[in-house]
Amino acid sequence: RGGARMEVAPAAAEAMQRSRSLVEKHLAGDQAVYGVTTGIGALADTRIPHEDLQGLQRNIVRSHAAGAGGLLPVEVVRAMMLLRARALSAGYSGVRPDVVHRIADLVNRGIHPAVPSRGSVGASGDLAQLAHVALCITGEGMVTDGDGRHPEAAADALARAGLDPLPLEAKEGLALINGTEGMLALGILAHQDAALLLSTADLTAALSVEGALGTDRPFADELHRLRPHPGQAAS
């Protein structure tokens, strides 16, 4: 909110590079690794030739970017991007640091993916919403401005910002979309709003009593300690 900026700590980049090295080690071997050298879902047992791994990740993102309905507010999309970047930067998802740096680039330059508000994949997470974000990283899909209006092609917005589309390597498409940051973003923002409303309600009540020349005796500490409800006491 408020145009807040993102930064990727050097330690986070190092952690991501370590886990990426493990992915690349698997790519060089013969072991079947789900989502890395195999397909996903019903194709989990299907080995993917090395030359098709980029195409697999691109198709994973494209096939899940199938949301519907009105667009999520820009602040929700920005929160989703921040939260997904935070999860990936922990260094356990096998993505290159470039992926998280690119998410930060989009947030900091006000390039906001157009993310439909309806559609998901149930227990697997907010795959549809996150796929629309991932699509824009690759230069596909649509983006909006800071007010969530004036949609334009992501490729055009990236070019205007001097950014190249980022092709996804093995594992990265799956890592970008397999999370719950859509519902988490909505929950965190709602929690922040509720906290603001709660403190505003207390302030409004206090000013109303003061403005009406009311008594403060009903708010005496000894009365409220009899209940005793922590929230009531704090209020």
What's the start-to-end Cα distance of the chain, in Å?
27
Residue 150 falls in which region: left (phi positive, over 0), alpha (psi -120 to 50) or beta:
left
Report helix, strand or coil for 142.
strand
What's the rounded Cα separation, in Å, for the pair 203 and 212? 14
The answer to whether 34 is a known catalytic residue is yes
What's the rounded Cα separation, in Å, for the pair 148 and 146? 6
Quick one: tokens of 105?
């680039």
Catalytic residue among 4, 34, 191, 194: 34
CB contact at 8 A, 107 and 5: yes
Residues taking part in catalysis: 34
